[in-house]
Structure 1
Amino acid sequence: MASKKLLSLVAYLPFVVAGLGFPMAFGGRLADAGAELPVKAMAISEFRPGAGRLFGRLEFMGGLSLATPKGEMGAVSSIRLTDGGKRFISVMDTGHWATGAIERDAEGALSGISDYRIYDMLGRDGRPGDKRHMDAEGIALDEGHVYVSYEGDHRIDAYPRPGFETSTPVSTERPVLAAERLKNNGGMEALLKAPDDSALGGALFYVAERSYDTAGNFIAGVQSGPRKGNFTVERAAPYDVTDGVALDDGSFVLLERKFGLQAGIGMRIRRFMLDDVEPGALVKGDVVMEGVFPAQIDNMEGIDAYKAEDGSTRLIVVSDDNHNLLERNLMLEFKLMP
């Protein structure tokens, strides 16, 4: 069984070598921070070959496999769309920002990334930090700030917006749950901001990746507002949480992944109701979709949503290649069906 899953992992190699042709060699320090980097894109027209376009409650709208010349793109942990889905801000677990514009073809499908730039994230001392202190995992936005959650040194830093790329944090807050309950490599993976008119009153809230309560469910917390406190999210193994986003209909979705020889490769999206979130609650959700190899998936890490011109809710999902030749940087787009 393990040998079959090893073959499944190795099967990704032709996509990288033949499809992109860029080496993966980024060492973690930028020679020219903020310089525009060329991005090579290979279009993905089918999520799973021969399986149509509908997967659960999502319709696949297209995707891209992406790379930069020296492997600078990678290690993406979370993504947030801006300008109506035309641009994005992302964070890497190597302690970097990445920004860019999303290009589309005449039919509106994803076609490429332009104006792609990477910056060192600055710590509270004004300097780039090592992975132990700058392991960025989640990102959330409001009009004046970019909020980033970190593992290891468990905290949420607020950066000014605009100007976050070259600024130090303007404030730092600790998770409502004592940090010792969060694993160093399994802490605040998903950082979300609830709508102002929701039950959480615009508060930031998080869900841990691999920090569980005694019943084996994900630890989570609301940082402020009328429902400040800890709650848990039901875990359905072998998946763990990697990102999430609050929608404008009173729900939120979590992206989950499995990635390994034993569990195989898979992504799952579940939907929950914000009204169910309150101190002490166990929140249960519904599966929106699940995809496993040989679908076009990898180490899926980031998700965000935007409203398309037709009024539909679109989800953008991205992967983290870990700067590894056997993995890919994917950007996939789905339409959430009514």
Structure 2
Amino acid sequence: MTELNVAEGELTPVQLDEVVPFNIDALDARGRAVLLGPSLTTILGRHDYPEPVARLLGEMTVLTVLLGTSLKFSGKLIVQTQTDGPVSLLVVDFVSPDAIRAYARFDAERVDAAIEAGNTLPTEMLGKGMLALTIDQGKYMSRYQGMVQLDGSSLEEIARNYFKQSEQIPTEVRLAVGKLITRDDEGNQQLTWRAGGLLAQFLPESEDRVRQRDLHPGDAPEGADLSDQEINDDDAWAEVKALVGTIDDSELIDDNLGVHKLLFRLFHERGVRVFDGHPVVDKCSCSREKVEGLLRSFTTEQREEAVEDGKISINCEFCSTHYEFDPSEIK
């Protein structure tokens, strides 16, 4: 792994679709940052989502990429929401080391009504429900799943709460999504998307500092007063949170700024080390063989019900690839 001490003369060119790990040793913090471009534009462009839906799925994609690239093994991270809002379902898969795919399911009438009323914030699009994070290490390993309630908070706040409750790790997350309208050489409009994110965590090696971040285990009797259990932030972590809090949405999606310059802007006084970036690619895991295997698992009656105009037709919800089978192929 190549290490770079970020200084003004060492800033690298802006890289899109690349997750950059970083350490701030003086503050016992580490994290990852990313600026998605072509991969996200392709994912969102396949489905022609209404803008509020596209922005919400873009946020989920960035969050999943930041989490998925931390996996230390070959496997899959699935981040999924199920809610009562206009956007009832979001699913983003990250397959290590670099493949991402995503889709959204929504009620078109409710989304149109929300747009007309101006109620298009991500929290209003999601509503209330659950967010699940599933880690799949393969067919010979047990799945791990963590759940967190969606209560009208932003995805940023949901991610903070997840790490606080499930991982006992103080975490800060920033997410932003934006669209760019450009013109090609023939004057035709082109829509491209940008989505940026930064995740920072407090991971001290000192035993005293580790003890300071231990949280209440959550087994207190119902109704117990835990006000005196409030744990003050370590000074170093308080500084990290304050610096991350200065990030503007426009900085996270700025092609001219990029991840390296943003990290320098935030942490250069403390010294920030960045490492080799991890590329992210739009890649669906579906195939004709997998779809055929799924159909073979159906009962004869189920396959007969799926026949229309003499064929069985299947569309992948992620990449929109269309598959057709003659019923006689599937026995």
| TM-score (norm: length of structure 2) | 0.32
Higher helix share: 2
Of the two structures, which has the highest relative contact order with CA contacts closer than 8 Å and spacing of 6 or more?
Answer: 2
Structure with higher Rg: it is: 2
